[in-house]
Chains A and B, each alone.
Chain A
Amino acid sequence: MTPALEITGLSVSYGGARAVDDVSLTLRGGQVVALLGANGAGKSSLLRAVIGLVPVVAGRLVVNGRDLAKLPPEQRADAGLGYVPEGRRVFAGLTVRENIEVVVDAAARQRAGRVADMLALFPDLAAKSTERAWRLSGGQQQMLAIARALARRPRVLLLDEPSLGLAPQVAATVFARLRAIADDGVAVLLAEQNAARALAIADEAVVLAHGRIALAGAAKTMSADDDALMALLA
């Protein structure tokens, strides 16, 4: 199967300091890849570079045979990348329904259909569809950020710390939903502080340290209480 996204030799710098250094990884549809690492290891920078919110200094981002590394974010989104940022960043003044509808490029009737699909997928949101997004709880905002990204039917879903600030039960629901999304054929790249939770749903895992890949392999071969992994995440 051709990869959904192939990242090759990706580097990101902030004024001379390398935040991401020569990272390569491949995502396939149906797979969850956990991106682990300590605070400041470069997880967020990697995701932000993939979606185009920070410039790529070197490297390739290939989707469907096309290198996206020099394209603006909106064209990367069109190429099939979906992004769920750290802190959710839902459009606070828009209603739940509007948050989903606003990202769909289609005629009004199809947009309504897509919104209905997403609300069916996230029943918590369906009950709040006419509420402004700032009124939602953290968990609901997280679901909305995921629904909003999915509404564009991406091939690849990039998630930055989706469990941050969520109660354990709510985080468990979010992670179960992510596994189901991958099982539907979407490639999921999941940057997470909570290694145990991420590994539990991941097929593969990549551990970053100081912007470089320190460890990579099948998720089931890694365990969150392994000393070597613990040392990298500390």
Chain B
Amino acid sequence: MVPYNRRMLTVQLLINALALGAAYALVALGFVLVLNAAGAVNFAHGDMVMLGGVAAVTMAAMLAGAGWRLPGVVLLPLVVMVAGLVGLGVAALGFWPLRDKPPSAMFVATIALAAVFEQSATAFFGPEPRTAPPVWDGAPLMIGGVALGRQPIALIIIAGLAIAGVYALLERTQAGRRFRAVAQDRDMARALGIRAVRLVVGAFVLAGGLAGLAGALLGHQFFVSAGQGPGYMLKAYIAAAVGGWGSVPGALLGALLIALFETLVSAVLSAVWAQALLYLALLAILLWRPQGLFGEVVGRRA
């Protein structure tokens, strides 16, 4: 009996880590897209995740109040749209007026926006954590004799589809090619007629949508509260730093590593230890490899 239980536990743990990693990957993906497009850190990114969770909780409550009990998955497109609008707002206030200023201007402006979002959410939503509706409700699935929760599986599938969609957009469409050109050399792209500023604003909208999706997906297992933005922001930052600043695949891998680390350390020690050790690990990585674990894998010549 013991080996069987251990196997079941391991599989469940890995599925949970993968689900958490998939959600973190959504957060990190949007963060890196804006980082590459605008050439600056959007400090309000974590609060866009939080607002996605708030939107999911609020819309579910409103619909329930009107007598509509919809499955959580139906809410997701609405949450993504609202969060995309939040992204547009961040672009309009934190990027557009400062587009010809040094990147530090956007960094500072988005710190201010992050504070505004957090305080507004506290005022509107209250300080109490709440739970977003599950995306896929029901009893655990039995797969190969192992009981697996539906929510983590739904999370992996939905985040996987969203990430694949963003990849297809970047690699297969003219807008995606233009986005990559702008990310590499914004001035040169403009000198060749590419509307770089529009693409940067588009990156904010996309990042908002992805962040909102992540917020709604994480909000069932990990609650939604107004003060959780900075925590998500830090995760995205760590994923990008570990993955090689600006590398999209690096950030996705970084997000998975963070989730794996958190899940395993939480299981062995505790969630508090997981957070503390995560920051220590980040410090160690940055001291040992300042370019990140996967930095410079894709060589670049000037």
Q: Which among A18-26, A31-39, A72-80, A194-202 touches the partner chain? A: A72-80
Q: How many residues on chain B are close to A (CB under 8 Å)?
A: 22
CB neighbours of A94 from chain B (8 A): 177, 180-181, 184
Q: What is the chain A residue whose CB lies nearest that of B178?
A: A102
Q: A52-B191, A73-B187, A74-B190 are in contact. Are A134 and B181 (CB under 8 A)?
A: no
Count A-B pairs with CB separation below 8 Å. Answer: 72
A101 touching B193, Cβ below 8 Å? no
- Expressed in whole angstroms, the Cα–Cα distance for A149 and B194 within the complex equals 12
**Which residues on the A side are within 8 Å of B185 (C-beta)?**
89, 91
- How many Å lie between the Cα of A163 and that of B13 in the bound state? 59
Number of residues in A with C-beta < 8 Å to the partner? Answer: 29
Q: Does A120 contact B (CB under 8 A)?
A: no
- B244 → chain A, closest Cβ, in Å? 13
Q: Is the CB of A101 within 8 A of B177?
A: yes
Establish whether residues A93 and B191, one from each chain, have CB atoms under 8 Å apart when the complex forms.
no
A89-B185, A93-B300 known; A53+B191 contact, CB < 8 A:
yes
Q: Is the CB of A148 within 8 A of B191?
A: no
Stretch at the interface among A103-111, A166-174, A184-192, A211-219: A103-111
Nearest A residue to B183 via CB reads A93
Cβ of B299 < 8 Å from any Cβ of A? yes
Q: How far is the CA of A108 from the CA of B184 in the complex (A)?
A: 23
- On whether A105 and B193 interact (CB within 8 A), knowing A91-B181, A134-B299, the answer reads yes
Q: Does A134 lie within 8 Å of B301, measured CB to CB? A: yes
Contact B301 A149 (CB under 8 A): no
Q: Does the CB pair B180–A91 fall under 8 Å?
A: yes
A92 close to chain B: CB less than 8 A:
yes
* Residues in chain A near residue B299, CB distance under 8 A: 134
Q: Is B302 an interface residue (CB 8 A)?
A: yes
- Contact partner of A74 (CB less than 8 A), chosen from B174, B181, B196, B302, is B196
- Chain A contacts to B: CB under 8 angstroms: 51-53, 72-74, 76-78, 83, 85, 87, 89, 91-94, 98-99, 101-103, 105, 108, 111, 134, 148-149, 152
Q: Tell me the B residues contacting A by CB distance below 8 Å.
A: 174, 177-178, 180-181, 184-185, 187-196, 298-302
Q: Which 8 A-B pairs have the closest CB atoms?
A: A77-B193, A73-B190, A102-B177, A103-B192, A134-B301, A73-B191, A89-B188, A83-B191
List 19 additional contacts besides A77-B191, A77-B193, A102-B180; criterion CB under 8 Å.
A72-B190, A73-B187, A73-B191, A74-B190, A74-B193, A74-B194, A74-B195, A76-B191, A77-B190, A77-B192, A85-B188, A89-B185, A93-B184, A93-B298, A94-B181, A98-B177, A102-B181, A103-B193, A111-B174
